A and B are shown apart, each in its own frame.
Chain A
Amino acid sequence: MEKVVFKKPKYMKEVPFHYCPGCGHSIIHRLVAEAIEELAIGEKTIGVPPAGCAVLAYDYFDVDMGEAPHGRGAAVATGIKRTLPDRIVFSYQGDGDIAAIGTAETIHAANRGENITVIFVNNNCYGMTGGQMAPTTLLDQNSTTTPGGRDKNRDGSPIDLSEMLAITRGAVYIERTAVNSVKNIRKTKKAITKAFKVQMAGLGFSLVEILSPCPTNWKMSPIDACRRIDEDVAQTFPLKVIKDETS
Chain B
Amino acid sequence: MTIKTKKGRIAIDSKLCKGCYLCVSVCPDKLIAISGELNEKGYYPAEFTETNTGEDRKCTGCAMCAVICPDIAIEVYRG
Contacts and interface: CB of A to CB of B under 8 A. Distances in A.
Interface of A: 1-8, 12, 16-17, 19-27, 30, 181-182, 185-186, 215, 221-223, 226
B77 A30 contact: no
6 contacts: A2-B78, A4-B75, A5-B77, A6-B67, A6-B74, A186-B67
Which interface class (under 10, 10 to 19, 20 to 34, 35 or more) fits B?
20 to 34
B76 A4 contact: yes
B38 interface: no
Given A2-B78, A6-B67, A17-B70, A22 B20 contact: yes
A147 B15 CA distance: 37
B67 A223 contact: no
A161 B8 CA distance: 43
A5 B15 CA distance: 21
B77 A16 contact: no
B71 A6 contact: no
Contacts of A3: 77-79
B77 A21 contact: no
Contact of A19 (B8, B64, B66, B70): B70
B75 A223 contact: no
A12 B72 contact: yes
Contact of B70 (A2, A5, A22): A22
Contacts of A181: 26, 68
